[in-house]
Structure 1
Amino acid sequence: MKKILMPFLLIGLLQSCGRESMEELNTDPNSYYTTVPSTLVTYAEKQLADYVTTPNVNTNNFRFLMQYWQATTYADESRYDYSTRNVSNSVWTFLYVRTLKNLEEAKKLVNNYAPTAAEAATWDTTKKNQLAVIDLMQVYTYQILVDTYGDVPYTEALDVDKYPLPKYDSGSVIYEDLIKRTQQDIQNINTSAGSFSSGEKFYNGNTTKWKKFGNSLLLKLGITLADSNPTLAQSTVQAAINGGVFTSSADDFLMPYSTSPNFSQLYSNLVASNRNDYVAGKTLVDYMNASADPRRSSYFQLRNGQYIGGPIGVNSPFSGYSSPGTYAYTQTTPGILLNYTEVAFYLAEAAARWNIGGSAAANYATAVTASFLQWGKTAAEATAYLATHPYDPANWKKSIGEQAWVAMYDQPITSWTFWRRLDYPQLTPAANAVAESEGKVPVRLKYPVSEQTTNPTNYGAASTAINGDKLTSKIFWDKF
């Protein structure tokens, strides 16, 4: 495609999007929608990956919530205070404004693109592939939003000219549509042709990998519905398995971070910020210490010859506890959005629930082994670990839930969903937790303050529909 360069384009794309209100979606002064679609795809991918992987307390506190890390100085967020910093406003901006809106505009550019003479013969297929790739990223993003809040703007979310105050759609209805979209995207991808020749960072436009990702995303969507809509869940999971999900770490859906200024969000917050705000969390460290889990040396660093975790919800001085592993202090550590380890745990769960996709015990062992290999450990170490942590068919939720929690250490948003669905591990709420957590570990985030003030009618309807805009109001699929 011909490049249409605009003054200050890169500067604009790398800046923040300003105010968080939904009214800003079509008036973002820092996004340039008349450029080539690959530029917007690059920007949206970066913003999505940054949100999923950052430990920044203004944006993503799920490492605290899942008790992987603890704060050294400011423990408010580890106590579930997400209001003081308006965390949800930031989440809304990353996902709606910086990711979904830019992907939507990229779709428009693809649809309006006039191919060159050299491109014309294959453009229809390439166009279809590009649109499918963009749409799969939108599906992934919307799933995060529903899993975080419940009912959210969907059908009216991205056209603020037409819908300046968008309604909130039912989370269950959104899920059903996301499944349909994903199935259509998978069908639309032609693996004999390409998609984006440049700018697409997750798979570099490789349509074979994108199709596998589509099926793996379909698997994730289906598994999440297992307790709320088991019929749809099982058929969706079976379709995903039949279509071909991830089979090794070579399929992982990753953001390949590089050096400055595009280093990982972990490095940005642990090194470039010149701060020491995070240490290991006591809950995970104690669990791993109990069996001398070999992954400890990758997850954490020794402190006085030991792995020591800070108490959850209590200020934990950096000098007294283990810091995160060296992976978090490395500029090029990839950002994980969906990987083989996660998929393998879904397959174990599918087998346990419905006896599909193979043996539950075998898939469980594969998932644990994949985690060991992911963190630089050996298959032999995984086998030894499994001997002391065998799959228990009588309490498969505990087996899968606890081991997925350990394995999803660098995927805290995903870990949160595993925990809510399987109810393991049994986490004790943080000490000194805020009153609005009602003495529980939060199961959702509250809607942004910006929505309460700019879209109060639809906000109020959504709050009522989910039994109150509270940290304790369960997402529709969280039944137990």
Structure 2
Amino acid sequence: MSIIDRIIMKNNLLNSALLFCLLILASCDQGFEELNKDPNAVTAEQFNPSFLLTTAQLRSAHGDHNTSLYYGTCFVQQMASLSNVGIFDYHGDKYVYHKGNNEQLWNATYGSASESRPAKLIEDILVQTEEDPDFNNLHQMARIWRTIIYHRLTDMYGDIPYFESSRGYYEQIFKPKYDAQKEIYLDMLSELEDAVSKLDASKENFAAADIAYDGDIAKWKKLGNSMMLRLGMRLSKVEPSTSEAWVKKAVAGGVFTDNEDNLLISGTDATGTSAALANGMSWTISVGTRSPGKIAATFFNYLSDHNDPRLKYTVAVYTDPTDVSTKNTDPSVQKGLPNGLDRQTLEADPSYNPNSPGQEHQYSGVNRSVYAKLDGPRMFITYAEVQYMMAEAAVRGWISGDAASYYESGVTGAMKMLNQYDASAVITDQEIAEYLQAHPFVGAANTVAALEQINTQYWAATFLNGYEAFSNVRRSGYPVLTPINYPDNETGGLFPGRLRYPDNEPVLNAENYNAAVSRQGADNYITKVWWDVAN
């Protein structure tokens, strides 16, 4: 056989083998897709994304509470402590820095690659429901909840990752840019407006997954508009005309009308067996602290001087901080702890009684049977706050209605709200009437005095909601608080403007972190957020 014949024969054999392989592959292709499916994978058809809403709501109420309690409530002098140098707790009492609690809200919101935090859970809902009309209401609920998550985060830190947040899985964005707070606020307001308009009571309401409102679409609409009112009012100084426009939209759309509309999430473990399922704030106040915080003298004196009926349910003296049976609610032994003291400087303070047992334990703490129940509620936004904001809007001439009526409704709502913490905390209509008679609204004509009165009451109504209390004090300027100048504090004795970014951000997300600092200002407690401007 010639060489040419051998080459031809070899090529024919190769061609035959190639053809055989192609036929085999073609025959296998029909089952290839099924063979390569993971039998344990969850498909969109099998998984109901409404389950994510339950977890997002629960985790929005648990896991971030130390930032609110240790910083927010202390900044605004609702709470105080003798802890020093930021070693233990209640660091905002002296404007000192503690890495873990300074960063807790940030970490509890964004989480890590191995954690599903509220920001990621909500993003998952939005992506999975975006193009499915069967999940319309769930999608709109998630949009509203997203503003609840991000508005408190941006209020505490300023510019934050927002538009690119939690997009690592979907768009491989692992170093999200920090967005300017103005852009974040304008987007949140637009999101609220659009989401409320698209909620539809005729469609599936996902009641089983909604631990806030049991799928009540009317309440979700009021929540969206009430949040719009809060965010709109936040701009009252930096952009008054924009603020006015959004406040008008919110009120026209329909906001909270009574305490049954309050947004609250309760703990689900009254025994304390699981800290993750208990009310985190209550856990910290009644179980988890080594150095219990006390009611600040500023807050105590305001309630006491006004003969406020809330005082009897708010304070108690515990001579043994680990034993609730040592509670004493006798008004004659109650007093608030001045902010800015430690165990050394306390003894020189006029409030200190050297003949009383202990040091801080002679001062009033939070009444745990009302405010620190492990299955008790954590308030996010309330009817009382809404009424006070409407009172301010009426004083400013932005909405119609009687500012005095809104103010009185706010006082009534704030006092009646204690019953949602515990059934025993009942303030009667007669007590409220007597309080309002003794402390009537000063009148809308006296704008400065009216705004001070309204926003001081707002401060009292947001007791233990450190995020909102701190934000509204910065926005309104009321109540007027005397700043603390404890040695080596973070502000040099100036009232704080924000918290610092987490320590690892300059390393893990350096370019975007640096851009935010360049735009916003130094990463410290003195720099103010965008909407916090002088009168």
Q: TM-score range by the shorter chain?
A: 0.7 to 0.9
**1:276-425 alignment to 2 at 5 Å?**
277-302=292-317, 305-315=332-342, 317-325=359-367, 326-375=369-418, 376-392=426-442, 393=444, 394=446, 395=448, 396-425=450-479
Letter of the 1:243 counterpart: G
Residue by residue over 1:250-278, the C-alpha shift from the partner in whole angstroms, topping out at 9 and shown as x without a partner, is 11111032324322123312334374512
Residue by residue over 1:432-459, the C-alpha shift from the partner in whole angstroms, topping out at 9 and shown as x without a partner, is 1543212122121111112122112211
TM-score (norm 1): 0.85
Distance 1:241 1:441, change over 3 A: same
**1:163-182 alignment to 2 at 5 Å?**
163-182=173-192
The alignment partner of 2:236 has SS state of coil
- Cα distance in 2 between the residues matched to 1:82 and 1:99: 28
- Cα distance in 2 between the residues matched to 1:108 and 1:464: 32
Matched, 1:154 2:168: no
Asked whether the equivalents of residues 95 and 489 of structure 2 are also in contact (C-alpha less than 8 Å), the reply is no
The alignment partner of 2:462 has SS state of helix
| 1:443 alignment partner, one of 479, 485, 497 | 497
Matched, 1:137 2:145: yes
Q: Which consecutive residues of structure 1, in runs of 5 or more, have no partner in the other structure?
A: 1-5, 10-33, 113-122
**Cα distance, 1:373 vs structure 2:** 1.3
The alignment partner of 1:61 has SS state of helix
| 1:38 alignment partner, one of 50, 72, 87 | 50
**Cα distance, 1:357 vs structure 2:** 4.2
The alignment partner of 1:255 has SS state of strand
- Cα distance in 2 between the residues matched to 1:390 and 1:159: 51
**Cα distance, 1:51 vs structure 2:** 4.8
Asked whether the equivalents of residues 58 and 90 of structure 1 are also in contact (C-alpha less than 8 Å), the reply is no
Asked whether the equivalents of residues 286 and 309 of structure 1 are also in contact (C-alpha less than 8 Å), the reply is yes
Letter of the 1:380 counterpart: Q
Asked whether the equivalents of residues 73 and 466 of structure 2 are also in contact (C-alpha less than 8 Å), the reply is yes
**Cα distance, 1:329 vs structure 2:** 3.2
Matched, 1:466 2:520: yes
**Cα distance, 1:315 vs structure 2:** 3.4
Distance 1:467 1:276, change over 3 A: closer
Residue by residue over 1:5-48, the C-alpha shift from the partner in whole angstroms, topping out at 9 and shown as x without a partner, is x99x9xxxxxxxxxxxxxxxxxxxxxxxx954233222211111
Asked whether the equivalents of residues 67 and 105 of structure 2 are also in contact (C-alpha less than 8 Å), the reply is no
Q: Which consecutive residues of structure 2, in runs of 5 or more, have no partner in the other structure?
A: 1-39, 112-116, 318-327, 344-358, 419-425
Residue by residue over 1:75-134, the C-alpha shift from the partner in whole angstroms, topping out at 9 and shown as x without a partner, is 62034556433334321111223111111112233358xxxxxxxxxx72x411110001
Asked whether the equivalents of residues 269 and 275 of structure 1 are also in contact (C-alpha less than 8 Å), the reply is no
* Identical-residue share of aligned pairs (%): 27
1:15 counterpart residue number:
none
Asked whether the equivalents of residues 79 and 433 of structure 1 are also in contact (C-alpha less than 8 Å), the reply is no
Asked whether the equivalents of residues 51 and 60 of structure 1 are also in contact (C-alpha less than 8 Å), the reply is no
**Cα distance, 1:220 vs structure 2:** 0.9
Asked whether the equivalents of residues 73 and 470 of structure 2 are also in contact (C-alpha less than 8 Å), the reply is no
Matched, 1:194 2:204: yes
Letter of the 1:101 counterpart: K
- Cα distance in 1 between the residues matched to 2:398 and 2:430: 27
**Cα distance, 1:72 vs structure 2:** 4.6
The alignment partner of 1:301 has SS state of strand
The alignment partner of 1:337 has SS state of strand
**Cα distance, 1:332 vs structure 2:** 2.3
- Cα distance in 1 between the residues matched to 2:78 and 2:85: 14
TM-score (norm 2): 0.76
Distance 1:172 1:57, change over 3 A: closer
- Cα distance in 2 between the residues matched to 1:257 and 1:175: 30
- Cα distance in 1 between the residues matched to 2:428 and 2:380: 23
Letter of the 2:268 counterpart: S
Asked whether the equivalents of residues 429 and 441 of structure 1 are also in contact (C-alpha less than 8 Å), the reply is yes
| 1:233 alignment partner, one of 243, 254, 265 | 243
2:233 counterpart residue number:
223
| 2:506 alignment partner, one of 448, 452, 457 | 452
- For the pair shown, the structure with the greater C-alpha radius of gyration is 2
Distance 1:433 1:225, change over 3 A: farther
Asked whether the equivalents of residues 283 and 309 of structure 1 are also in contact (C-alpha less than 8 Å), the reply is yes
Asked whether the equivalents of residues 391 and 403 of structure 2 are also in contact (C-alpha less than 8 Å), the reply is yes
- Cα distance in 1 between the residues matched to 2:67 and 2:123: 28
Asked whether the equivalents of residues 194 and 207 of structure 1 are also in contact (C-alpha less than 8 Å), the reply is no
1:101 counterpart residue number:
120
Asked whether the equivalents of residues 56 and 122 of structure 2 are also in contact (C-alpha less than 8 Å), the reply is yes
- Cα distance in 2 between the residues matched to 1:68 and 1:132: 35
Residue by residue over 1:231-262, the C-alpha shift from the partner in whole angstroms, topping out at 9 and shown as x without a partner, is 22112111111111000001111103232432
- Cα distance in 2 between the residues matched to 1:217 and 1:310: 33
**Cα distance, 1:146 vs structure 2:** 1.8
- Cα distance in 2 between the residues matched to 1:83 and 1:454: 21
Instruction: Please tell me the root mean square deviation across aligned C-alpha atoms, in Å.
Output: 2.5
Asked whether the equivalents of residues 80 and 434 of structure 1 are also in contact (C-alpha less than 8 Å), the reply is no
Distance 1:433 1:358, change over 3 A: farther
Letter of the 1:133 counterpart: M
**Cα distance, 1:202 vs structure 2:** 0.8
- Cα distance in 1 between the residues matched to 2:471 and 2:407: 18
Asked whether the equivalents of residues 82 and 88 of structure 1 are also in contact (C-alpha less than 8 Å), the reply is no
**Cα distance, 1:468 vs structure 2:** 1.8
1:244 counterpart residue number:
254
- Cα distance in 2 between the residues matched to 1:60 and 1:445: 12
Residue by residue over 1:202-236, the C-alpha shift from the partner in whole angstroms, topping out at 9 and shown as x without a partner, is 11222111111111111111111111122221121
The alignment partner of 1:91 has SS state of helix
- Cα distance in 2 between the residues matched to 1:225 and 1:175: 9
